[in-house]
Amino acid sequence: MPQGITKPSNQVLAAGSPLRVEMEIGANATAAKMLAGRAVVFDDADQTVKEASAEETGDVFILDVCPTELEATAYAVGDPAMVIVGDCIAKMTLLASESVSRGDPLVTAADGKLAKQAVGAMGEQGKVVAYSWDASNVTVDAEILVHWCPAAEPAAAA
């Protein structure tokens, strides 16, 4: 029987060879929220990122672990940081009290966490950035494996 993919220790990337780009933690980022395994978006200045908010619709990336720090160490504003851009299996933070099954579509939540895509009008739920690789139903933030593959958000019906 195959062993599958296990959650890595002190790493975000679990499988794959995605594109990685070095950026900088932007001036509008909240340093305490700039943790590996969180979703980030472009900040105001070129080549800078900040934490993603709920239901982002633009480009979304994964903040990778600083190679000289522990996974739980937050980046400071102005720090260089690697972001994962491409398709991969990654360990990310699921918002507390989200009940997900394997394969559920995920969107960004506050503070760069992920949440199950809500049912609603097309174009109003945020862009699907990943699909759950694990099931989870706990009342605290949970680290789960996800298939990271951001797609375009469908447009609202005209």
Residue range 121-134: mean pLDDT, rounded: 82
Residue range 9-34: mean pLDDT, rounded: 96
pLDDT digits (tens, 9 = 90+) for 51-64: 999 999 899 999 99
Q: Considering only CA atoms, which of 88, 81, 154 is closest in space to residue 124?
A: 154
* Sign of CA pseudo-dihedral 21, 78, 51, 65: positive
pLDDT digits (tens, 9 = 90+) for 99-119: 999 999 999 999 999 999 987
Strand-strand pairing, 80-84 and 48-51: unpaired
Residue range 40-55: mean pLDDT, rounded: 97
Query: pTM of this prediction?
Result: 0.90
pLDDT-derived band at 145, boundaries 50, 70, 90: very high
22 or 119: which leads in pLDDT: 22
Give first-to-last CA distance, the chain, whole Å: 49
pLDDT of residue 94: 96
pLDDT of residue 154: 61
Report CA-CA distances (Å) from 54 to 15, 36, 58, 61, 108. Answer: 26, 18, 12, 14, 5
pLDDT higher than 60, residue 156: no
